[in-house]
A and B are shown apart, each in its own frame.
Chain A
Amino acid sequence: EDKVVQSPLSLVVHEGDTVTLNCSYEVTNFRSLLWYKQEKKAPTFLFMLTSSGIEKKSGRLSSILDKKELFSILNITATQTGDSAVYLCAVNRDYKYIFGTGTRLKVLA
Chain B
Amino acid sequence: EPEVTQTPSHQVTQMGQEVILRCVPISNHLYFYWYRQILGQKVEFLVSFYNNEISEKSEIFDDQFSVERPDGSNFTLKIRSTKLEDSAMYFCARTTTTFTNYGYTFGSGTRLTVV
Instruction: Give complex CA distance A28, B94 in Å.
Output: 22
Q: Is B76 an interface residue (CB 8 A)?
A: no
Q: Is B25 an interface residue (CB 8 A)?
A: no
A interface: dominant SS: strand
Q: Is B48 an interface residue (CB 8 A)?
A: yes
- Chain B residues 36 to 62 lying within 8 A of chain A, measured CB to CB, are 41-45, 48, 56
Q: Contact size class for A?
A: 20 to 34
Q: Is A88 an interface residue (CB 8 A)?
A: yes
Q: Is A98 an interface residue (CB 8 A)?
A: yes
Instruction: Give complex CA distance A92, B47 in Å.
Output: 14
**Is A98 a contact partner of B45 (Cβ separation < 8 A)?**
yes
Cβ 8 A contact of A90, one of B43, B105, B107: B43
Instruction: Give complex CA distance A34, B106 in Å.
Output: 13
Interface 1/0 per residue, B88-115 and A, CB below 8 Å: 0101000000110111111111000000
**Is A94 a contact partner of B56 (Cβ separation < 8 A)?**
yes
Q: Is A99 an interface residue (CB 8 A)?
A: yes
List A contacts of B56 (CB < 8 A): 94, 96
Q: Is A68 an interface residue (CB 8 A)?
A: no
With A43-B43, A102-B42 as given contacts, are A97 and B89 in contact (CB-CB < 8 Å)? no
Q: For residue B112, give the distance in angstroms from its CB to the closest CB of chain A.
A: 13
List B contacts of A90 (CB < 8 A): 43, 103
Instruction: Give complex CA distance A31, B104 in Å.
Output: 14
Q: Is B31 an interface residue (CB 8 A)?
A: yes
Residue in B closest to A34 when the chains form the complex, CB atoms: B103
List B contacts of A43 (CB < 8 A): 43, 91, 106
Q: What are 5 sample pairs from A and B whose C-beta atoms fall under 8 A apart? A: A42-B107, A48-B101, A88-B43, A97-B35, A97-B43
B residues near A (Cβ < 8 Å) are: 31, 33, 35, 41-45, 48, 56, 89, 91, 98-99, 101-109
Q: 6 closest pairs, A vs B, by CB?
A: A42-B106, A99-B43, A34-B103, A101-B42, A41-B109, A96-B45
